[in-house]
């Protein structure tokens, strides 16, 4: 395009136009382009039905924008002679604009490659040109239009290039404001095409050509264009705001799902950590404000799940979650932090009593009975709490301290709510050290087995031994199993330790010359270990101990945990010839059911019922009924913890079969039992 052509464009813009209408054309072009770009961006990402709706709307708005811009600019053009517009071609030019954009935007909507989008943009530029020249064909004047081909070509090239650039910006934005760049390029494509196109014409007036009467005069065209412009604006803004609302709703929905637990509807861990920060900020901003944190854990939830099934467990969690959610007032927050664990935060407490009252409210809500398959089930919770009154001002520290307090509340079945006390730190430190030591104990050879005699109650002769583990700690001395077995169970170390006990006991017992039976305690976690049966048979083979000399002591906890599979394992153990005793009978909560579920070889009445059984009527009644039960089920009964002769006599009068306890002596070391287990050998020698 030479200097003359450029001069023509400037001349065309400055000398033959009504500036007010030029400004109106520019405004319609800018607003329409912005709407077109915003819809085009949504069109790329929309799916299914929304994609087609965006495609239709976008084409209507972009096509009408091009058309309106052109005709407002035409209205702004003041040729200074009578003129008009041929209605059919005017209409066709609108259709060309809309359908052209529909075609190019189809590429935009479904294209996958960069060049497809660039072609779509070029197509947009071509549409602008096509619409322009069809529109110009509708322009009627008393004369004829002469076209400068170079300028026409230049207008088409400008429109196509800028159109391609505009679409490229829309599809590949670098910042979130790139849509504005896209809109700017689109405005440029439309305007530069139009004015370059206009500069391509020279008018040759002729007195022989008359403008027919049945044409659209400027006024009517003005009305038509205004109507189309209003439609663009209304439809465009309505659809964009509808889209924005839909997007906001979708984002809010996603946000809610990401921050809430699906089962209970309570806030989840993510939301908890967000709230923790809010809490910290509030506490920092208001120095005098106090707050409390709570960690909550449902008691025996695993057992409920095992007994009633996971669906029932879920139902309980759902109901409890609903209640806890409803309980929260201003400044209170409760989240589900894990399986059966919840965390609560409370702002604005003045005294510890207020914190306690909140914990009580939580506890009360949890323990409202839940109906599960027609059964009313009560779930209790242990709650640990900490407050800024005594325990620091950082929420994460408070939560750690409520965790420690929760651990304490869990240990004590009588206490539901327990608040942090500095002593707990020391205790938890000790506990961690003990766990670390326990991990090493087996490899350092710190474990030892002691043997407690089991006697026949008629002859009082020994019939066997119960093997009990001892931990000889290098600094703390001998530690009782009641202290470290629970820790070993909690950490899972019991599997390894239990196996060591079983192997050592079998190897030692196999060397005895008298065939005494040997009873080994087996923890619940050992029985559910998939390789337990294999280990057991390996140990029997390795030690060559006849299986009938081995007795495994299991507690009810084993059976409650995973009834079906544990009972299956126990049947397999029995098939191997190994006997199984029910330990600590009477301390569990479903003793009778357990005895019916599996044919035990022995019942061991817990020592708590034996102490003073001769004078305590209640204990006597329990012991009597257990003996009757054993008699009915043909299972021999052993009484544990016999310390005094009177207890022994009572048991003998009630026809108990075996006894075990300090009356016959404290548990003995391996060395000390040698005279008993090797008695036959000793006689032989003498
Ligand atoms: P348990 O299986 O019921 O073992 C009997 C406990 O009662 C032993 O305590 C024993 O020393 C004690 N005892 C026996 N007769 C009397 C008596 O006349 N009076 C009193 N006051 N106590 C008596 P110990 O050895 O401290 O074991 C405690 C518990 O630790 C055991 O209870 C058992 O549950 C667990 N345990 C011990 N060794 C092992 C083991 O090798 N593996 C597993 N899993 N648990 C073990
Ligand atoms: Mg035992
Ligand atoms: Mg026992």
- Ligand with minimal distance to 553 CA: 2
* Report for 411-420, 528-537, 651-660: range of highest mean pLDDT: 651-660
User: How far apart are the CA of 118 and the centre of ligand 2, in A?
Assistant: 81
| Count of helix runs (H) and strand runs (E) in the chain | 25, 20
Query: Which residues, including other chains, have CB under 8 Å from residue 525's CB and lie 6 or more apart?
Result: 489, 492, 494, 495, 498
CATH 3.30.70.120 fits 432-676, yes or no: no
Q: How far is CA 348 from CA 399, 424, 539, 654, in A?
A: 17, 25, 62, 63
Does the structure show a pLDDT above 90 at 102? yes
Ligand 1: list residues with CB < 6 Å: 452, 468-469, 480-482, 485, 498, 501, 521, 523, 553, 583-584, 607, 640-643, 660-662, 667
Q: How far is the CA of 499 from the centre of ligand 2 (A)?
A: 15
Residues whose beta carbons lie less than 5 angstroms from ion ligand 2: 521, 553, 583
From the CA of 469, how far away is ligand 1's center (Å)? 8
- Residue identifier of the C-alpha nearest atom 41 of ligand 1: 469
Q: What is the pLDDT of residue 2?
A: 47
Calculate how far, in angstroms, residue 346's C-alpha sits from the geometric centre of ligand 2.
Answer: 46
* Of 375, 368, 367, 382, the residue nearest 307 (C-alpha): 375
The ligand with the least distance to the CA atom of 660 is 1
- Centre of ligand 3 from the C-alpha of residue 557, in Å: 13
> Residue 305's pLDDT is what?
80
- Does 658 have pLDDT greater than 70? yes
Indicate which ligand has the atom closest to the C-alpha of 486.
1
For residue 453, report the distance from its CA to the centre of ligand 2, in Å: 12
Beta partners for residue 204, in sequence order: 144
Helix ranges, 367-412 (H): 395-411
Give the distance (Å) from ligand 1 centre to CA of residue 305. Answer: 29
Tokens representing 269 are 């861990």
Ordered by start, the domain boundaries in the chain are 3-249, 269-421, 432-676
Residue 41, token pair as written in the block: 């961006």
Residue with tokens 């005793």: 581
Q: Give me the pLDDT at residue 8, please.
A: 53
| CA 492 to ligand 3 center in whole angstroms | 21
| Residues contacting residue 276 through CB under 8 Å, at least 6 positions apart | 345, 395, 396, 399
Atom of ligand 1 nearest to the CA of 604: 3
- How would DSSP label each residue in 327-364? H--TTEEEEEEETTEEEEEEE---SHHHHHHHHHHHHH
Nearest CA owner, ligand 1 atom 43 = 521
Q: Which atom of ligand 1 is nearest to the CA of 523?
A: 44
Interatomic CA distance for residues 92 and 97, integer angstroms: 9
- Measured in degrees and rounded to the nearest 5, phi and psi for residue 417 equal -120, 130
> What is the C-alpha to C-alpha distance for residues 340 and 194, in angstroms, rounded to an integer?
70
> Which ligand 1 atom is at minimum distance from the Cα of 663?
18
Angstrom CA distances, 624 to 556, 581, 619, stand at 20, 19, 8
Distance, CA of 123 to chain centre: 47
Counting atoms of ligand 1 from 1, which one is nearest the CA of 526? 44
**Which residue has the least CA distance to atom 27 on ligand 1?**
481
Q: For 585, left (φ over 0), alpha (ψ -120 to 50), or beta?
A: beta
pLDDT value of residue 463: 96
Is residue 639's pLDDT more than 90? yes
Nearest-atom number in ligand 1 for the CA of 494 is 44
Q: How far, in Å, from the CA of 408 to the mean position of ligand 2? A: 26
Q: Which long-range contacts (CB under 8 A, 24 or more apart) does 637-640 make?
A: 637/602, 637/603, 637/604, 637/605, 638/454, 638/581, 638/602, 638/603, 638/604, 638/605, 639/604, 639/605, 639/610, 640/584, 640/604, 640/605, 640/606, 640/607, 640/610
Give the Å distance between the CA of 302 and the centre of ligand 2. Answer: 24
Residue nearest atom 20 in ligand 1 by C-alpha distance = 641
Residue whose CA is at the smallest distance from ligand 1 atom 8: 468
Predicted confidence band of residue 563 (pLDDT cuts 50, 70, 90): low
* Long-range Cβ contact pairs of 409-412 (< 8 A, separation 24 or more): 409/382, 409/383, 409/384, 410/297, 410/299, 410/382
Top mutation candidate among 499, 518, 640, 645 for ligand 1, by most atoms within 8 Å of CB: 640
**Nearest ligand atom owner, CA of 467:** 1
Ligand 1 centroid to Cα of residue 665, in Å, is 14
Tokens of 157: 């090239």
315-330 pLDDT, tens digit per residue, is: 999 999 999 999 999 9
Bigger pLDDT: 661 or 433? 661
pLDDT of residue 684: 40
| pLDDT band, residue 11 (cuts 50/70/90) | low
Residue nearest to atom 45 of ligand 1 (CA): 521
Average pLDDT of span 253-279 = 92
For residue 252, what are the contacts with CB-CB under 8 A and spacing of at least 6? none
Provide mean pLDDT across the span 480-493: 91
Question: How much is the mean pLDDT over the chain?
Answer: 89
Query: Could you tell me the pTM of the whole model?
Result: 0.53
Gap between the Cα atoms of 419 and 382, Å rounded: 11
pLDDT-derived band at 209 (thresholds 50, 70, 90) equals: confident
Res 224: pLDDT:
87
Question: Token digits for 287?
Answer: 């120095």
Residue-wise pLDDT for 346-405, tens only, equals 999 999 999 999 999 999 999 999 887 777 888 999 999 999 998 999 999 999 999 999
Q: Rounded to the nearest 10 degrees, what angle do helices 149-171 and 19-45 cross at?
A: 40
CA 607 / ligand 1 centre spacing (Å)? 10
The closest ligand to the CA of 666 turns out to be 1
Q: What's the gap in Å between 629 CA and the centre of ligand 2?
A: 20
pLDDT at 220 over 60: yes
Residue 101, pLDDT above cutoff 90: yes
**Do 619 and 609 form a contact (C-beta atoms < 8 A)?**
yes
- The residue assigned the tokens 């007032």 is 329
Confidence of residue 681 (pLDDT cuts 50, 70, 90): very low
List the structure tokens of 602.
């022995």
Angle, vertex CA 390, rays to CA 388 and CA 391, nearest 5: 65
What's the CA gap between 678 and 580, in Å, rounded? 25
pLDDT at residue 587 greater than cutoff 90:
no
| CATH H superfamily, domain 269-421 | Reverse transcriptase/Diguanylate cyclase domain (3.30.70.270)
Of all protein residues, whose CA lies closest to atom 13 belonging to ligand 1? 641
For 548-644, where are the alpha helices, taking DSSP H only? Answer: 556-561, 563-575, 591-597, 617-633
Residues in the chain: 686
Instruction: Give pLDDT tens digits for 115-130.
Output: 889 999 999 999 999 9
Select from 481, 525, 554, 669 the residue to mutate for testing ligand 1; criterion: most ligand atoms less than 8 Å from CB.
481
Average pLDDT over residues 259-288: 93
Instruction: Provide the pLDDT for residue 304.
Output: 79
The per-residue pLDDT for 495 is: 92
Which of 138-147, 260-269, 561-570, 602-611 shows the lowest mean pLDDT across its residues? 561-570
- The pLDDT of residue 682 is above 70: no
Does 72 score more than 80 pLDDT? Answer: yes
Say how far apart CA 194 and CA 186 lie, in whole Å: 12
Whether the per-residue pLDDT at 133 is higher than 60: the answer is yes
Say if strands 550-554 and 517-521 run parallel, antiparallel, or are unpaired: parallel
Ligand nearest to the CA of 585: 3
Determine the residue of 485, 489, 646, 662 to mutate for testing ligand 1's pocket, defined as the one with the most ligand atoms within 8 A of the Cβ atom. Answer: 485
The CA 457 to ligand 2 mean position distance, Å, reads 18
Question: Where are the extended beta strands (E) located within 57-132?
Answer: 84-85
CA-nearest residue for atom 37, ligand 1, is: 468
pLDDT at 303 over 80: no
What region does 546 belong to: left with phi over 0, alpha with psi -120 to 50, or beta?
Answer: beta
Structure tokens of 426? 């020391």
Predicted confidence band at 249 (pLDDT cuts at 50, 70, 90)?
A: confident
**Atom 33 of ligand 1, residue of closest alpha carbon:** 521
Distance 415 CA to ligand 2 centre (A): 28
Distance between CA atoms of residues 155 and 195, nearest Å: 8
Closest of 302, 300, 524 to residue 410, by C-alpha: 300
53-73: average pLDDT:
90
What's residue 400's pLDDT? 92
Strands 462-473 and 370-372, by their bridges, are: unpaired
From the CB of residue 73, how many other CB atoms can be counted at a distance below 10 Å?
A: 26
Name the pLDDT band for 683 (thresholds 50, 70, 90). Answer: very low
Question: Hey, which of 446, 448, 521, 581 would you mutate to test ligand 1's pocket, going by the most ligand atoms within 8 Å of its Cβ?
Answer: 521
For 247-287, what is the HEC assignment? Answer: HHHHHHHHHHHHHECCCCCCECHHHHHHHHHHHHHHHHHCC
Closest Cα to atom 7, ligand 1: which residue? 641
> To test ligand 1's pocket by mutation, which of 468, 469, 499 has the most ligand atoms within 8 angstroms of CB?
468
- Over pLDDT 70: what percentage of the chain? 95
DSSP calls for 428-470? HHHHHHHHHHHHHHTTTT-EEEEEEEEEETTT--EEEEEEEEE
Instruction: Please tell me the least confidently modeled range out of 203-217, 322-336, 367-381, 411-425.
Output: 203-217
Distance between CA atoms of 611 and 75, rounded to whole angstroms?
A: 112
| Residue nearest atom 3 in ligand 1 by C-alpha distance | 584
pLDDT band at 685 (very low <50, low <70, confident <90, very high): very low
More confident call, 598 vs 63:
63
CA 666 to each of CA 642, 660, 663: distance values in angstroms, whole numbers, following the listed order: 11, 10, 8
Tokens of 463: 């019939």
Dump pLDDT digits (tens) for 12-26: 555 567 888 888 989
pLDDT score of 589: 60
**Angle between the N-to-C axes of helices 178-199 and 48-76, in degrees from 0 to 180, rounded to the nearest 10:** 40
Averaged pLDDT for residues 432-459? 93
Q: Is 388 or 679 the better-scoring residue by pLDDT? A: 388
Q: Tell me the sheet residues that pair with 11.
A: none
583 C-alpha vs ligand 2 centroid, how far in Å?
A: 6
| Mean pLDDT (whole number) for 418-430 | 86
Question: Rounded to whole angstroms, how far apart are CA atoms 514 and 202?
Answer: 128
């Amino acid at each position: 395009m030479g200097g003359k052509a450029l001069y023509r464009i400037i001349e065309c813009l400055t000398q033959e136009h009504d500036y007010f209408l030029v400004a109106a054309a520019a405004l319609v072009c800018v607003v329409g382009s912005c709407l077109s770009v915003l819809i085009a961006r949504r069109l790329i990402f929309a799916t299914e039905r929304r994609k087609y709706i965006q495609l239709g709307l976008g084409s209507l708005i972009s096509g009408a924008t091009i058309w309106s811009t052109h005709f407002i600019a035409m209205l702004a053009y003041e040729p200074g002679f009578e003129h008009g517009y041929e209605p059919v071609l005017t209409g066709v030019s609108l259709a060309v604009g809309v359908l052209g954009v529909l075609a190019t935007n189809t590429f935009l909507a479904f294209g996958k490659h960069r060049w497809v989008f660039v072609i779509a943009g070029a197509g947009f530029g071509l549409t602008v040109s096509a619409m322009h020249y069809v529109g110009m064909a509708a322009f009627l004047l008393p004369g004829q239009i002469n076209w400068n081909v170079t300028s026409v070509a230049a207008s088409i090239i400008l429109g196509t290039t800028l159109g391609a650039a505009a679409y490229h910006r829309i599809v590949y934005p670098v910042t979130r404001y790139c849509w504005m760049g896209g809109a700017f390029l689109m405005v440029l494509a439309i305007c530069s095409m139009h004015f370059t196109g206009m500069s391509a014409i020279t008018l040759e007036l002729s007195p022989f050509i008359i403008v027919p009467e049945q044409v659209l005069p400027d006024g009517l065209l003005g009305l038509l264009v205004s109507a189309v412009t209003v439609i663009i604006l209304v439809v465009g803004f309505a659809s964009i705001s509808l889209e924005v609302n839909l997007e906001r709703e979708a984002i809010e929905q996603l946000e809610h799902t990401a921050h809430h637990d699906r089962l209970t509807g309570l806030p989840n861990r993510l939301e908890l950590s967000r709230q923790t920060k809010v809490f910290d900020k509030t506490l920092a901003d208001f120095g005098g404000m106090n707050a409390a944190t709570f960690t909550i854990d449902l008691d025996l939830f695993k057992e409920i799940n095992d007994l009633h099934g996971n669906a029932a467990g879920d139902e309980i969690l759902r109901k409890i979650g609903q209640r806890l959610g409803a309980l929260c007032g201003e400044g209170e927050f409760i989240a589900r932090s894990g399986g059966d664990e919840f965390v609560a935060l409370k702002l604005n407490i003045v005294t510890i009593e207020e914190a306690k009252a909140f914990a009580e409210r939580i506890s009360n809500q949890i323990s409202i009975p839940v109906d599960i398959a027609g059964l009313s089930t009560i779930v209790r919770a242990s709650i640990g709490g900490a407050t800024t009154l005594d325990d620091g001002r950082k929420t994460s520290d408070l939560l750690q301290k409520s965790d420690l307090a929760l651990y304490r509340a869990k240990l004590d079945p009588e206490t539901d709510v327990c608040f942090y006390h500095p002593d707990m730190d020391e205790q938890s430190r000790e506990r961690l050290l003990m766990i670390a030591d326990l991990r090493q104990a087996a490899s350092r050879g710190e474990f030892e087995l002691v043997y407690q005699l089991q006697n026949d109650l008629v002859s009082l002769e020994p019939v066997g031994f119960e093997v009990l583990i001892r931990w000889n700690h290098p600094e703390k001395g001998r530690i009782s199993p009641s202290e470290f077995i629970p820790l070993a169970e909690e950490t899972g170390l019991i599997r390894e330790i239990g196996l060591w006990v079983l192997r050592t006991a079998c190897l030692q017992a196999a060397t005895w010359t008298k065939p005494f039976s040997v009873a080994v305690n087996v923890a619940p976690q050992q029985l559910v270990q998939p390789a337990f049966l294999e280990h057991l048979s390996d140990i029997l083979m390795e030690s060559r101990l006849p299986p009938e000399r081995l007795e495994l002591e299991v507690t009810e906890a084993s059976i409650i945990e995973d009834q079906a599979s544990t009972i299956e394992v126990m049947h397999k153990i029995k098939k191997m010839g190994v006997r199984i005793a029910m330990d600590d009978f009477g301390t569990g909560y479903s003793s009778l059911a357990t005895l019916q579920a599996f044919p035990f070889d022995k019942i061991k009445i817990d020592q708590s019922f034996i102490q003073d059984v001769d004078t305590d009527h209640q204990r006597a009644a329990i012991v009597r009924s257990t003996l009757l039960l054993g008699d009915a089920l043909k299972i021999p009964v052993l009484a544990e913890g016999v310390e005094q002769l009177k207890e022994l006599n009572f048991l003998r009068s009630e026809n108990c079969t075996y006894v075990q306890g300090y009356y016959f002596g404290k548990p003995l070391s391996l060395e000390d039992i040698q005279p008993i287990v090797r008695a036959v050998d000793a006689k032989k020698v003498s």
